[in-house]
Amino acid sequence: MIEYPSDVTLVEMLPRDGFQRLDEFVPTDEKVEIIDALSETGVDEIEITSFTHPKAVPTLRDADEVAQRIERHDDVTYRALVPNAVGMERAIDAGVDKVNALVTVSETYSEHNQNMTVEEILTGVEEIVEMAEGTGIEVEAGMGTSFYCPYEGRIPMEDTLSVVDRVVDAGVDEVTLATTMGLADPVEIEEMYTTVFDRHPDLDAGLHLHDTNGMSLANTLVAMQCGVDRFDASHCGLGGGVVLPDGLGGVGNTPTEDLVQMLTRMDLETNADFERVESVAHEVADRLDIGATSHVLMGGTVDRVLATVAEDNA
Amino acid sequence: MIEYPSDVTLVEMLPRDGFQRLDEFVPTDEKVEIIDALSETGVDEIEITSFTHPKAVPTLRDADEVAQRIERHDDVTYRALVPNAVGMERAIDAGVDKVNALVTVSETYSEHNQNMTVEEILTGVEEIVEMAEGTGIEVEAGMGTSFYCPYEGRIPMEDTLSVVDRVVDAGVDEVTLATTMGLADPVEIEEMYTTVFDRHPDLDAGLHLHDTNGMSLANTLVAMQCGVDRFDASHCGLGGGVVLPDGLGGVGNTPTEDLVQMLTRMDLETNADFERVESVAHEVADRLDIGATSHVLMGGTVDRVLATVAEDNA
């Protein structure tokens, strides 16, 4: 029998990866309401915003206010992306539970996305880890372009592993490899995680999934078989890098509702409640008027299909 | 390391599952041109039509003419669906290489779809096998509703296994379990194939995939880990049962281009040429005006993504 983790942790990316990617600024009230709804779905962790310079990501310019106004649930970890020490200061002031110290493996992407070299970013991670000491704030490192870069193409696995090593040396014990372009395949995922766990057997290594090539649920299965038990996803699949052209329609995240449906159907342990996840996905799609961007939103569940057929035959 | 089959056989379903499902009759000339284009993609087998009563499936009323007019390639197996002995006579006259003797596991679906009991269908399979003797025509049995039925819901695995046993007893050595509703999950796939291969170790058991819940590539991975090395898919994901309501938008087949992209990227052996598959998918989508119904059609390939980003930055 194929073995999967006994318990899977889910991280919701919509409020950061999704809101950042939309052309229009989602009003702060609406952001807060949506995050509050997400808090009721049973996801373990929510990346609520990014403490980036407001000019760099204007759609998230209300980061501090969002962090202040959301209702915090005891069983949810509220985290924020921090690109540097300045962002970390704001995160500390905002009292988040955790930060995502974003690192990018590709030198070209780092320049475009953060206007920094990879070395500068890694120095920033060291600072963030130091600043976190004594605050009770956890630090995890998201590793952008771990597999493909939109400018450089395939990233050599050694480059990604070197950056993982550096981040671990800096004192981070939780990293999340990101398929930023959504182009990784199951064999690349398996090679990567097998090697990462060989080098760092105790590392908490998660997977941040985009779904450009449609392989993200297959990648999830393979990653779970390698021992990965933490996944980032976004309701309605909403998300993508801010430096990517709008024409790149497919670079959404894995829809949380599709991922949770699969894990639930497989009887794997998660804290998420599929029906609530499904319902919030419909609510978000309606509010943001984004159409049916996931299989669940298109009605791809047993209950919906049977109900549609029954109605048609009535 | 996760093990996959050394060689994967691909069966193209567009001309039957796809054309049958469209509201409008695709003109015979266009059907023939599309099948001829599919013959150049390197797929191993093409289900070119269905020898069903023209009143039952009017969109395939030109079955005999299609079979006669297509250009046959030596390295492609041309097969047709036959629901009964009458269809088998037409298939013999048309000189196809192989027939798909369709069986349905669900009693209710059989009544709706074929107006026969499962027992009557199984008797039909016995007749079809007898009629094939000495003609050189191979017989495989597609097993509709092997996992879910749109009327009955989950089909007990024992029901599916009983029908497999009966078909094998009738002398069929190649069966294809179908996720007719596209609702099966990876654990159900694993349980089914593990059990099927336990009972019939030498059976050539393939998987016919629909993708309503978005898990079909994940299901492919799991099936391959169980030893399945033959998959049905359809260019542009076009397909679905004729008795299903139109509102059931998501019940397409797994797009051949998405499946071939995954297998090619994983370096698994297939005869298919991904670039040709991709090109034919775009051609079919344009000709039939069906929009971007797969990840590949949406531009979800490494080459397309890099080209889009490069153009945007030029």
Give B124's DSSP letter. Answer: H
Check A309 against B267: CB less than 8 A apart: no
E strand or H helix at B178, and its extent?
A: strand B174-178
Count A/B contacts: CB-CB distance under 8 Å: 167
Residue B182 has pLDDT above 80, yes or no: yes
| Among B212, B222, B298, beta carbon nearest to A249 | B298
**From the CA of B219, how many Å to the nearest CA of chain A?**
8
State residue B313's pLDDT score. 82
Q: Which three-class secondary structure state does DSSP give residue B9?
A: strand
3-state secondary structure chain A: CCCCCCECEEEECHHHHHHHHCCCCCCHHHHHHHHHHHCCCCCCEEEEEECCCCCCCHHHCCHHHHHHHCCCCCCCEEEEEECCHHHHHHHHHHCCCEEEECEECCHHHHHHHHCCCHHHHHHHHHHHHHHHCCCCCEEEEEEECCCEECCCEECCHHHHHHHHHHHHHCCCCEEEEECCCCCCCHHHHHHHHHHHHHHCCCCEEEEECECCCCCHHHHHHHHHHCCCCEEEEEHHHCCCCCCCCCCCCCCCECEHHHHHHHHHHCCCECCCCHHHHHHHHHHHHHHHCCCCCCCCCCCCCHHHHHHHHHHHHC
How far, in Å, CA of B234 to CA of B255, rounded? 5
> Which of A152, A306, A311 is the best residue to mutate to test the B interface, defined by the most B CB atoms within 10 Å of its own CB?
A306
B226-241, pLDDT tens digit by residue? 999 999 999 999 998 7
Nearest Cα to B190, choosing from A246, A1, A309, A249?
A1
State residue A248's pLDDT score. 67
Check A217 against B215: CB less than 8 A apart: yes
Angle B105-B185-B20 (CA atoms, 0-180°, nearest 5)? Answer: 55
E strand or H helix at B82, and its extent?
A: strand B77-82
Check A225 against B151: CB less than 8 A apart: no
CB A234 within 8 A of CB A18: yes
Q: Say how many C-beta atoms besides its own lie within 10 A of residue A83's C-beta.
A: 25
How far, in Å, CA of B57 to CA of B51, rounded? 9
Average pLDDT over residues B10-36: 96
**From the CA of A245, how many Å to the nearest CA of chain B?**
6
- Backbone φ, ψ for residue B112 (5° rounding): -65, -45
- Mean predicted lDDT score pLDDT of chain B: 95
Q: How many residues does chain A have?
A: 314
The fraction of chain A above a pLDDT of 70, given in percent, is 98
- Which residues from A are below 8 Å from B151, CB to CB? 306, 309-310, 313
How buried is residue A29: exposed, middle or buried, by Cβ count under 10 Å (0-12/13-18/19+)?
exposed
Average pLDDT over residues A262-289: 97
Q: Which three-class secondary structure state does DSSP give residue B242?
A: coil
**From the CA of A126, how many Å to the nearest CA of chain B?**
32
Check A266 against B154: CB less than 8 A apart: no
- The strand pair at B9-12 and B98-101 is best described as unpaired
How far, in Å, CA of A234 to CA of B299, rounded? 21
| Among A187, A265, A300, beta carbon nearest to B267 | A187
Q: How many residues does chain B have?
A: 314
Name the band, by pLDDT with cuts 50, 70 and 90, for residue B249.
low
By CA distance, what is B219's nearest residue in A?
Answer: A218
Residue B251 has pLDDT above 90, yes or no: no
What A272-275 contacts at long range (C-beta under 8 Å, 24+ apart), as own/partner pairs, is A272/A10, A272/A41, A272/A42, A272/A43, A273/A41, A273/A42
Encoding tokens for residue A90? 């704001």
State residue B155's pLDDT score. 98
CB A137 within 8 A of CB A98: yes
Check A305 against B225: CB less than 8 A apart: no
Average pLDDT over residues B51-71: 96
**From the CA of B237, how many Å to the nearest CA of chain A?**
13
State residue B181's pLDDT score. 94
State residue B250's pLDDT score. 64
> Which of B3, B154, B210, B213 is the best residue to mutate to test the A interface, defined by the most A CB atoms within 10 Å of its own CB?
B213
Check B153 against A295: CB less than 8 A apart: no
How far, in Å, CA of B221 to CA of B181, rounded? 19
| Among A186, A265, A305, beta carbon nearest to B212 | A305
State residue A59's pLDDT score. 95
| Among A249, A295, A308, beta carbon nearest to B247 | A308
Name the band, by pLDDT with cuts 50, 70 and 90, for residue A242.
confident
Check B221 against A220: CB less than 8 A apart: no
E strand or H helix at B49, and its extent?
A: strand B45-50
By CA distance, what is B186's nearest residue in A?
Answer: A266
Name the band, by pLDDT with cuts 50, 70 and 90, for residue A247.
low
Check A187 against B265: CB less than 8 A apart: yes
CATH number corresponding to B9-313: 3.20.20.70
State residue A178's pLDDT score. 97
**From the CA of B59, how many Å to the nearest CA of chain A?**
21
Check B225 against A308: CB less than 8 A apart: no
> CA end-to-end span of chain B, whole Å?
41
| Among B2, B251, B294, beta carbon nearest to A222 | B2
Encoding tokens for residue B115? 């107006």
How far, in Å, CA of B216 to CA of B219, rounded? 5
Residue B248 has pLDDT above 70, yes or no: no
- Which residues from A are below 8 Å from B153, CB to CB? 302, 306
- Which residues from A are below 8 Å from B297, CB to CB? none
CB A302 within 8 A of CB B153: yes
Average pLDDT over residues A222-229: 98
ipTM for the assembly? 0.96
The fraction of chain A above a pLDDT of 90, given in percent, is 90
Name the band, by pLDDT with cuts 50, 70 and 90, for residue B23.
confident
How far, in Å, CA of B258 to CA of B294, rounded? 7
State residue B272's pLDDT score. 98
| Among B188, B212, B308, beta carbon nearest to A245 | B308
> Which of A309, A311, A312, A313 is the best residue to mutate to test the B interface, defined by the most B CB atoms within 10 Å of its own CB?
A309
Amino acid of residue B126: E
A104-148, pLDDT tens digit by residue? 999 999 998 888 999 999 999 999 999 999 999 999 999 999 999
**From the CA of A226, how many Å to the nearest CA of chain B?**
9
- Which residues from A are below 8 Å from B247, CB to CB? 308, 312
Q: Say how many C-beta atoms besides its own lie within 10 A of residue B207's C-beta.
A: 28
Encoding tokens for residue A271? 């804290």
Give B47's DSSP letter. Answer: E
Residue B165 has pLDDT above 90, yes or no: yes
- Mean predicted lDDT score pLDDT of chain A: 95
A16-33, pLDDT tens digit by residue? 999 998 889 999 999 999
How far, in Å, CA of A305 to CA of B48, rounded? 28
Check A185 against B258: CB less than 8 A apart: no
- Which residues from B are below 8 Å from A218, CB to CB? 217-218, 220-221, 262
Check B222 against A221: CB less than 8 A apart: yes
Residue A211 has pLDDT above 90, yes or no: yes
**From the CA of B45, how many Å to the nearest CA of chain A?**
24
Check A250 against B295: CB less than 8 A apart: yes
Name the band, by pLDDT with cuts 50, 70 and 90, for residue A249.
low
Nearest Cα to B98, choosing from B2, B189, B191, B173?
B173
Check A187 against B266: CB less than 8 A apart: yes
